[in-house]
Structure 1
Amino acid sequence: MKQPWKTDKWFVSPWNYEPEVTSKFQFPPAKDIKIHDITLRDGEQQAGIAYTLEDKMKIAKALAEAGVHRIETGMPAVSKEDERAIREIVQANFGPEIFAFSRCMVADVKLAKECGVQGVVVEIPSSEHIIKHAYGWELQKAIDLSIEATLLAKELGLYTVWFPIDASRADMNWFLDLIEKISTEGHMDALAVVDTFGGISPHAIPHLIKRVRERVKKPLEPHFHDDFGMGVANTLMARACGCTVAHTTVTGIGERAGNAAMEELVLALLTMYGIDIGIKTEKFYSLSQLVRELSHTQIPSNRPIVGETLLSVESGIVTSWVRRCRDENPLELGPFLPSLVGQRPVEIVLGKSSGIDSVAEWLEKIGGDASQEQREAIVLKVKDASIKKKGLLTEQEFKKIVDSVVHG
């Protein structure tokens, strides 16, 4: 019998679905939950990443094919190349809603409109210390620029997301007064709840959302960074508090430690919360590889969901599990099937932790055979060779060991 925590594609904890847990959730209907992907803007702000127009077109197309709802294509004021890329993505009409990012400046908002986008995310420093120390402004300047730019965006017919930089570290009363003022005297169709430096904890999110909602009756869009590894957890908490749109990047790339990872957020919603938002999870691996290639960045080999060695098994004990379960009970080997995210099947590799079943697997792979005593000797030689190499063995190295034991 299928349960929400155990289907033919995933097997997670039943504790996730206990009524005492789920009764506290305020998730919006699945049809209203959207991904606002910022790989092409905030993702590109990761040091060393520089996308060409062609790169941006490829990534935008792949995001659309994965079912992403909104794409933030970049900041047209950054360069003519970025402006052209935004215009061409709009003209390509891949399917998702297309947004541009701009400063709270009249010229930036006008340029976004000229690019043909449907919406604009307008940023302004919102913590009094950032306004003073990083920008050298009087506080009133941030207010005046926000009102002017957001009213223009409204006049131009752009869906407007007001984006207060460093909101989570601002003086709480100042911030709450600020967002109320911009909401009433300026304009916003939605408010981005911005944790620029990843400094808020998951347990603080419900209180933050509650206090913001007391002042602003607009949709809220969590934008959380990952400096403490909390980006996805914080975004999930915000979703559970009723936020519909979340800002994410592919594999979490972005400024400093990056942003909430799209694939982690979507898969957690699907498996741990039973919420399918229409994203094609089977595209995750290929999408991550495309972004990695075009970004010239390295993805940690054991990164959740899309890591290269995520499904490599070296341990002798776990190898025994694989050999017993992979055909009829594959979900005993992990929380989801590799195919759910477009990954390759589980692979048994040879190294220091390998055991008798590892040798048996590889003997079958090369069409070889050995007695039990010989297999035990092979295991010892595999371990020794791996220690000396400080890594995994190749098929050729394994064949050499087998030959030395069996025919030695």
Structure 2
Amino acid sequence: MKYLDQEKRREFLAYLRKESIDLPDYDVVDVPKPKLYKEFFPWDKPPLTVFDGILLPLKTPEKIWITDTTFRDGQQAREPYSVKQILDLYTLLHELGGPQGKILQSEFFLYSKKDREAVEACRSLGYEYPEIVGWMRPTYEDFMLVKESKVEECGMVTPVSDYHIFYKFPGLGRQKVISKYLEVIEEVFKLGIVPRVHLEDSTRADVFGVVVPFIKKLTKLSRRYGVPFKVRVCDTLGIGLPWDGAALPRSVPKLIWVLNNICDVPSEQLEFHGHNDFHMGVANSVSAWLYGASLVNCTLLGIGERAGNVPLEAMVFMYATIKGDLDGMNTRVITKIAQYYEEEIGYSIPPYYPIVGENFNITWAGIHADGLLNNLEMHLP
């Protein structure tokens, strides 16, 4: 077990007290070489867990929601859905989310004619929830697509780790890259569209050198134009950790807590997007809820790049464990979704997959079967 050195620990405590962040000249910190956190991410070993010994209080929002990216991030690792499939799945998401709209939003690509046809087809259903939102890269070409689509909210990918800043945008440096993001975001604000800023690779980012000053600048723009914004914390490689005692940048509770309490991003404008590379997607999403984010972003059946995204159906049940109620969500629809994937899309669900796999709630061990005969609750969740 590794612990952060005392100097870095004191530095973090100073930031928690906002001793420098509230200064007007606090800006993105340019560095001559990328900060790659090799003490966390040695290339020849698994990512290392480092603790700083600083614990945070729980701050679970009164209202929490699930958001969906099945038709955006969930399409990046599979054959694209047809317009009919998107329409059918969107309808099932609506049914699952219930009358209170606990599945608050569904995110769509806007690039192709088929993408835009799918958006219009789903709009034609007239459902209040899930709200239809878009996604774009921080380019003026994508901005024009957003403008034409007439969405009220649009996500924008804004990589914040030095892995991306230095190697995706060579020669620019942190300040210029963040400035480029803000230029496009300002145009989105001018249209009255809510920008949802996707902090890509947050769990490898310099939080106080890049993320915090970026969000401070974003907040100023928001106030200038009178349009709110959202922040999506992206654990792009699934390397986040659900423990508040872990050190930044890997600690999801600390990332959420910093944005909520130091950057003053309201909980309802704060979202977490996880991946499942190390089986931590659900745990990280739950921790995001517990430490201040109102929104967690998922895909149906966890379908997504590499090891997948956070399974939406899992977060439906996690919601109930936190709130003590499903608040109108219809869990029977989850079975219909699984059947649709297998029968209409041809997707094979592994038999041991939680909740909808064919072996879920089946026991083979004789001692367990005997227990079930005595009391069903003995070996069933």
TM-score, normalised via structure 1 length = 0.69
Question: Partner of 1:161: helix, strand, or coil?
Answer: strand
Tell me, yes or no, if structure 1 residue 118 matches structure 2 residue 152: yes
Tell me, yes or no, if structure 1 residue 174 matches structure 2 residue 210: yes
Cα distance between partner residues in 2 of 1:217 and 1:314: 49
1:261-315 CA distances to partner (integer Å, 9 max, x unpaired)? 1111221231355253432222112223324555543222111111111122322
In the TM superposition, residue 207 of structure 1 has moved relative to its aligned partner by 1.8
Q: Give runs of aligned pairs for residues 51-130 of structure 1, distance below 5 A.
A: 51-67=81-97, 68-77=102-111, 79-96=112-129, 97-130=131-164
Q: After the TM superposition, list the runs of 4 or more consecutive aligned residues in structure 1 that deviate by more than 6 angstroms.
A: none
Segments of 5+ residues of structure 1 without an aligned counterpart are 1-22, 336-408
> Of residues 250, 253, 277 in structure 2, which corresponds to 1:206?
253
1:131-151 CA distances to partner (integer Å, 9 max, x unpaired)? 221344613443233212222
Aligned partners of 1:226 and 1:259 also within 8 Å: yes
In the TM superposition, residue 93 of structure 1 has moved relative to its aligned partner by 2.0
Tell me, yes or no, if structure 1 residue 333 matches structure 2 residue 373: no
1:42 is aligned to: 73
In the TM superposition, residue 320 of structure 1 has moved relative to its aligned partner by 2.0
2:42 is aligned to: none
Cα distance between partner residues in 2 of 1:69 and 1:113: 25
The letter for the 1-side match of 2:125 is A
Cα distance 1:273–1:290, how it changes in 2: closer, same or farther (>3 A)?
Answer: same
Cα distance 1:189–1:293, how it changes in 2: closer, same or farther (>3 A)?
Answer: farther
Cα distance 1:234–1:185, how it changes in 2: closer, same or farther (>3 A)?
Answer: same
Aligned partners of 2:242 and 2:287 also within 8 Å: yes
2:59 is aligned to: 26
1:346 is aligned to: none
| Pairwise CA RMSD | 2.3
Cα distance between partner residues in 1 of 2:240 and 2:288: 12
Cα distance 1:290–1:141, how it changes in 2: closer, same or farther (>3 A)?
Answer: farther
Higher alpha-carbon deviation: 175-184 or 163-172? 175-184
Segments of 5+ residues of structure 2 without an aligned counterpart are 1-55, 244-250
In the TM superposition, residue 334 of structure 1 has moved relative to its aligned partner by 1.0
The letter for the 1-side match of 2:213 is D
In the TM superposition, residue 180 of structure 1 has moved relative to its aligned partner by 2.1
TM-score, normalised via structure 2 length = 0.74
In the TM superposition, residue 231 of structure 1 has moved relative to its aligned partner by 0.8
Cα distance between partner residues in 1 of 2:93 and 2:321: 21
In the TM superposition, residue 92 of structure 1 has moved relative to its aligned partner by 2.2
Q: Give runs of aligned pairs for residues 6-405 of structure 1, distance below 5 A.
A: 25-29=58-62, 32-46=63-77, 48-67=78-97, 68-77=102-111, 79-96=112-129, 97-136=131-170, 138-139=172-173, 140-172=175-207, 173-185=209-221, 189-203=229-243, 204-213=251-260, 214-218=262-266, 219-271=269-321, 274-293=324-343, 295-325=345-375, 330-335=376-381
More helix by share: 1
